[in-house]
Chains A and B, each alone.
Chain A
Amino acid sequence: MKLSVSHITRYNFDIPVRRLIQSHRLVPSRCANQRVITWEVNMLQATRGAAFRDGAGDWTETVSVQGPLDAFEIEVTGEVETTDYAGILKDHREKVPPSAYLTPTARTWPSQPLREAAEETLSALEGKPTLEKAHALSTVTAERVEYMPGETEHYTTAAEAFDLGKGVCQDQTHVLIALAQLSGIPARYVTGYLFSASEDHMSEASHAWAELYVEDLGWVGFDASNGVCPDDRYIRLGSGYDAQDASPIRGMVTGGGGERLDVRVKVREGGVEGQQQQ
């Protein structure tokens, strides 16, 4: 499927900042699931440098701007041809061993209720293949944490979202990571884009899901929010231990204040030319 992406991130500062620095992972992963036709990350006035592909395969770039700055905008546009591999991350080159993703962070730390949920789910699946366990954990996540925007914050942990029983894709992904790690399955946080044909309330064009490591298959994506494994509607950007670690944009400003963030993401089927004709 050919998908085109337009992703604009705009920061407005009520009090101009002296300096801004960011680390970006805004370029699609290199894997058989997706082929970049065109991709551009544009910013006015920024110094770009310190770019590299990290051990997890993500392209990372550093961006800084000397202020005073009252607004900053990042515009990502591109076209990607995607292929459905039933959620399996295919031909993705990386050097980080899967076992490194068994260590929880503060955001994916296992609480007693999470521990019990993992045990309960697995008790019926003893001796079953990892893939089956992974599907079961993903299903349990969706059942126990209802998709409901506005109930959680960006710093909400897996344990908190699980107790609350509500959250967005970030929370569901954190919960699934915690449940998987408790089951001895390496799991990580993945960011990307999702194309949705309908105006389904479950879809967020800027999306997150989990990848669980299954022997013989490698990393397999699980989108608990939508109850599926990522297919050709998904574009993968990068991964990490949790939402903060995987964040496509991590930044800091010096001075100033009153930051207001405006993010607009559109994912359409077809090429950029197709869009312009609409």
Chain B
Amino acid sequence: MTQTFNEMIDGGSVRAAYQSLEKWQNEMPADLRQMKQSEAEALFRRVGITFAVYGEGGDPERLIPFDMFPRVFTADEWRKLDRGIRQRAAALNAFLADVYDQREIIRAGRIPEHLVTHNEAFERAVVGIRPPRNVWSHIVGIDLVRTGPDQFYVLEDNCRTPSGVSYMLQNREIMMRMFPHLFVENRIAPVDGYADALRHTLASVAPKKCDGEPNVVILTPGHFNSAYYEHSFLADLMGVELVEGQDLFVDGDFCWMRTTEGPKKVDVIYRRIDDAFLDPLCFRADSMLGVPGLMNVYRSGGVTICSAPGAGVADDKAIYTFVPEMIRFYLGEAPILENVPTWQCAIPDQCKYVLENLGDLVVKEVHGSGGYGMLVGPKADKSQIEAFRAKIEEKPWNYIAQPTLSLSACPTFVEEGVAPRHVDLRPYCLVGDKIELVPGGLTRVALNEGSLVVNSSQGGGVKDTWVLAE
């Protein structure tokens, strides 16, 4: 593994982006730091922002650790990311519009057909429909890692319902309350326009049949869902109703919301439930979370569902390999952001390489998420590697492998003071009548020394993410 890129200190000197924070850190007494840290925790507890961790026993609802040391991007650094993310979001949407229509990219031989249509996320039910503005993924979460001053890689795309944006907003809110002077001394691009931009994006994809101000709602599976806090938080910020399946019903050409003043038509549903549970008359018949008949209303143009059912076919880890190809094919542009080189275990030659080099690679399940079911070769012992070898040999198509990237590290408050810890970044790109990206995102940090796993379920924390204004 190569040298870790430290985002604050490069070759002994402090990088431009971190000049003022270095001073702030040095001047902060240890007791003040501890006081601020408990203050931050109290604030997080008060707003009730929790996440769920499965498979570890104990109370699954807990606070996500917040690290007060911000992560900083200069305007120059962000400009490239911004262009690259928008480009990727546009290509992913073009791909979705294509694979549910003419499948030009498959006809052109640029993506193997079976990866797309013989894929669990491919929805037969939406073939041939054209959602408003032909947008399929309205909120695209793109996970990025950095390995050098100018080297960023896209780790994965999230086209369904990427979560975590409430942390981006709350981390900023809490930093501003605790350290207001930092926001006076530094020109930091605001992120609080996200809720308005999301509301605008959702309203902009209202169906043609909607006349007047579109009625937008957020559909949640309910309070037992690990991201329920985020659902209610976003509904509050946007000033829209937070509903569960039982609050909605289908009648005639439309979907309606029960209110004390009688039924109110719903035009746009930002759903935070999976395709399979959306409508028991179309997908899983045993789903109690969805709205019976909703897919018929959607498919006949009476309501818009965001993200579109079937959007998951674009963010599969096997499809991921082809996103640069999508950018070239649909946009006629060179990809601005690079993919991590990926080996598909479904392809025998590549699988052979993976099995021979398990100790150096990261192996992931094609449909896995959240850091569950993955192997980090260099951190694994012999028995873990052998267990994974057996799994790959049994179901090769279920796995992909990537080199172990040396994720960049950012200064992070730890027991002994400040130390570098590995980070990633998830910005949230909005696609509607235009493509919008607030300057920032969610930085996740692997709090355990040397760890490369930033998932909150695996000992990860979060940081406020700054983009310095020009």
Contacts and interface: CB of A to CB of B under 8 A. Distances in A.
Interface stretch (A94-102, A139-147, A203-211, A218-226): A94-102
A43 to B, nearest CB: 14
Contact of B101 (A51, A95, A103): A95
B389 interface: no
Interface core residue of A21, A48, A49, A62 (most chain B CB under 10 Å):
A62
B292 A103 contact: no
A92 to B, nearest CB: 14
Interface centre among A23, A50, A64, A95 (most CB of B within 10 A): A50
A264 interface: no
B119 A21 contact: no
Contacts of B101: 95
Nearest to A56: B124
A62 B293 contact: yes
B240 interface: no
Contact of B127 (A47, A95, A244): A95
B325 interface: no
A51 B296 CA distance: 7
Given A49-B251, A54-B128, A99 B296 contact: no
Interface in B273-331: 280-282, 285, 292-293, 296-297, 299-302
A107 B124 CA distance: 17
Nearest to B118: A102
B385 interface: no
A135 to B, nearest CB: 24
B285 A103 contact: no
B285 A50 contact: no
A218 B464 CA distance: 56
Contact of A96 (B124, B252, B299): B124
B167 interface: no
A55 B127 contact: yes
B130 to A, nearest CB: 11
Contacts of A60: 296, 299
Contacts of A55: 100, 124-129
Q: How large is the interface on B (under 10, 10 to 19, 20 to 34, 35 or more residues)?
A: 20 to 34
Interface in B96-127: 100-101, 103, 113-114, 117-120, 122, 124-127
Say whether chain A's binding surface is mostly helix, strand, loop, or mixed: strand
A64 B293 contact: yes
B127 A21 contact: no
Contacts of B103: 97
Interface of A: 19, 21-23, 47-52, 54-56, 60-62, 64, 66, 95-97, 99-100, 102-103, 240-241, 244, 250-252
24 contacts: A21-B281, A21-B292, A48-B252, A49-B300, A50-B253, A50-B300, A50-B302, A52-B299, A54-B299, A55-B124, A55-B125, A55-B126, A55-B128, A60-B296, A62-B297, A64-B252, A95-B101, A96-B124, A96-B127, A99-B114, A99-B117, A100-B124, A103-B118, A244-B285
Interface of B: 100-101, 103, 113-114, 117-120, 122, 124-129, 249-254, 280-282, 285, 292-293, 296-297, 299-302
Given A21-B250, A51-B296, A250-B282, 4 more contacts: A19-B249, A50-B250, A50-B293, A56-B127
